[in-house]
Chain A
C-alpha cells in the first residue's frame, strides 16, 4: 500500500486539538486534585453513589436499548405518512435542554401529572416519580431515541439484496429475525448500549431533579456536592477520578464488543421489504410506534401547553438572556468544530497510514470528555485563571469552552466516518491529481463533509444553549443565560414566565440545530 501523504498541518492541528482535550479533561482533574491535596477521604456515602451510578446507568442503557430494538425494527420495515419526519424527530429529545425535559417529565409522570391523574381515575395508586423510577423514565426519554437511531442505522446499512434473497427463500418471522435482522442488531446494539451507559453514568441534572435524595445520588452529583458545598476539592477530584475509571472500563468493554459507534445523520432510507405483512405484525409495529410517540411526545406537549400561557409574561430580560445564550452557542460551535475537525483529520490520517493503534488511542482521547465532570473543568478554569484574570467576567466564553469539550466526542463520531469515506473513496484520485492544500479541502472534503459538519455544529450549539451545569458554577444572575434565567425566574416564583422562557429555550435550541443542519444540507 502506498503511503498517503501526511501533511504537517494535519499533524499540528490534530496535535493541538489532542493536547487541548487532554488538558481540559485529565489536566483539569490534576489541577483540582492538587488544589485540594491535603483533604478529603472518600466517605461511605460516596461508595453508595458509585454503586447507584452503575446500577442506574446499566438499567437506563438496558431499558433504552431493549425498547429501541422493536422500535427500530418497526421503523425499518414500515412505510407510512410522516415516517421521515418521525425519524428526524427521534433526534429531538437529545437536543432538548435537560432542565426543560425534566419539567415535562414531571408534568406527565409526577404526583399530580397526567399519568397519576389517569391512574387515580382508574382507581390505581399514585405513582412516585422521584428516585430510581424517575431517573429511569427521564434517561429512557433522552436515550431511547438515540439508541433507536443507532440500531435503525445498523438495519438500514444491510444490503437490500439480503431482504430479497430472504423473501425468495420464503424466510419469514422468527427465522428472518434470527438470520438477517439479529446480526445487524447484534452489531449495533452493544455500541448503543455503551453510549447510553456513558451518558447516563455521568448524569447530573436528571439525578439532581428526580433523584429524590441520598438514596439516589450519582457520582457527578457527589462531585458537585463535594466541590460546591463542602468545598472539599480533594474529594471532588477523587470522585472525578473514580468516574473516569468507571467510564473508561465501560468504554473499553464497548470497544471490545463492537465497532466504534457512528451516529451519522445518514438518510436512513427505506429499502423494499417483503416481510411482516400479516395483520398481527402490522398491528404490533403500529402499537410500538404509537406507544413510543406518546411516551416521547407527551412531556414535550406538556411544556408547550404551559409555556404558551407564559409567553405574555416575558420581558426584555428574556431576550437579553437569549442573546447571551446565542453567544455561548456560537462560541461553543466554533470551539467544537476546531477541536473535532483537527482531531478527526488526525485520526483518519493515522488510520490511512496504517497506524491503527495510534488512531485508536487518539480516538479514545476524543471520548474522554464523556467521562469528564464539567464541574471539575470549570473549577480548574477558576483556579488557573484567578491569578491572571477574573474568570467570572469570562463566564460566557468559559461556559462555551466547557460545553464544546463535552460535545466533541459526539462531533467526532459524526465527522470521522465522513472524512474517512471521502479519503477512502477519492483520496487516491486526489493524490494522483496532485490536489493539495486548500484546493484539496474544497474539492475533496468540503462536499462530502459539509452535511455532517452542519449536523455536528447544530448538535454542539443546541447542547450549549441548554447548559445549566457550568453556567451555574460561574453564576452570573445579573447577566444570565436563558437556562439560568429560567431557573432564576422559577426561583423567584415567576412560574408562568419560567415556562414561557422554557418555550423560548426550546425554540432557540431546535432553531440553532435546524439552521446548521440546513446549512449543511443546502446545495
Chain B
C-alpha cells in the first residue's frame, strides 16, 4: 500500500517537474478569481508572453487577504517574484513584513481618484464599494447611510466579514470614515437589517441574487457585469451622498525575486495600455492607468460625488479599533 502511495505521489509530482522549461520564469501570486478561466489572467498571460520571451506563471493563493498570509508563511523561500492583488488596506502590513522591494521605475501618472504615490506598491485597478440592489424589487433605494438606517424594516442587507473579505473591511472603514466615533452606534442600529455576514464577496452577492436580502455590499461596477455578460440591466448601485469608500488593488515585487529584471518588466507592462484594457471586463474594476475606451455599460454606472479612503499607513490602527467595535455591536 505504501508503494502504491509513493507511486501515486510521484505520478502527480513528476509531470509538474517536467514542465520546467529553459525560458526564464516569472511567478506571480494572485487571488483565485484573477486566474479563473473568466478572470484577467488568461489574456494577460498571452499578452505578456508575446513580448517577454518568458514563461509567466500565475499562482492562485486563495482570496485577497490569504495572499499576504501565504507569502509571509513562505518567507524568503517563496518562489514568487511578484504579488498581485493586495488591497490598499493591506499595504502597511505588507510593507512591515520587509519582503517587498521598491519598484524603482518611472511610471505614467495613475488615474486613481485622490492620487496614489508609493515607491513599492503599484496600483493596477480601483473601484468604489457600494450596495447593489435590484431595480425590479426596490424602487426607492437608500441615498445615504442615514437614509438606510431610517428605511422601512424590510430593507435588508448582506455584508462580508471584515476579518476575511476585502469588501467587508471596506465597509467597516467606510462607516468609520463617515461616522467616526459614532460608528459603533451605527453598527448597532444597522445590525437588525443584516441578514447574514459571509466569509467572501461571492456568498453575500449570491444571497442577494437569490432574494435573501434587498441589497448586497459590492462595487459600483457590479451592474456593468450584469449588462455586459448577461444582458440584464435590472441591477444598480445605490449612490450614497456620504461618498463612497474606495478599493485600490496593488502589486509589488518581492525583494527575494530570482528574476528582478523580469519582474520590473512585468510591473511596467501592468501599468501599460494592453493590460489595463483587459481589466474592466474581466476583473470588473476601473483601470488605474490609461486604457482603451471603457465599455458603454461603464458610462451608465453611478458616479460617486465624493471618494473616501484612509491613508494606507493609518489603516492598521483604524482597522483594529473599528473591528473591535464591529464585533461588539454585532455580537449583542
Question: Taking beta carbons and an 8 Å cutoff, which residues of A are in contact with B?
Answer: 45, 48, 106, 110-112, 128, 130-131, 208-215, 225, 227-231, 317, 327, 330-331, 334-335, 337-338, 379, 382-383, 386-387, 390, 392-394, 396-397, 472-473, 475-478, 488, 490-495
Contacts and interface: CB of A to CB of B under 8 A. Distances in A.
10 contacts: A110-B212, A212-B195, A213-B196, A214-B161, A214-B197, A214-B327, A477-B35, A478-B59, A488-B32, A491-B36
Contact of A477 (B1, B60, B213): B60
Given A394-B12, A475-B62, A490-B202, A231 B4 contact: no
Contact of A231 (B72, B79, B195, B199): B72
Contacts of A478: 35, 58-60
Contacts of B195: 111, 128, 130, 212
A352 B293 CA distance: 79
Interface in B18-64: 32-33, 35-39, 58-62
Contacts of A225: 161, 163-164
A101 to B, nearest CB: 15
B237 interface: no
Contact of B66 (A213, A228, A393): A228
Contacts of A382: 73
Contacts of B102: none
Given A327-B12, A390-B79, A228 B164 contact: yes
B206 interface: yes
B330 A214 contact: yes
Contacts of B60: 475-478
Contacts of B12: 327, 394, 396-397
Interface residues of B, number: 56
B200 interface: yes
B39 A472 contact: no
Contacts of A335: 5
B16 A393 contact: yes
Given A386-B74, A393-B16, A491-B33, A111 B61 contact: no
B194 interface: yes
A387 B76 CA distance: 11
B32 A229 contact: no
A383 B2 CA distance: 23
B211 A111 contact: yes
Given A213-B194, A338-B2, A492 B36 contact: yes
A397 B331 contact: no
Interface string B289-303: 000000000000000
Interface in B270-325: none
A392 B66 contact: no
A213 B12 CA distance: 39
B124 to A, nearest CB: 19
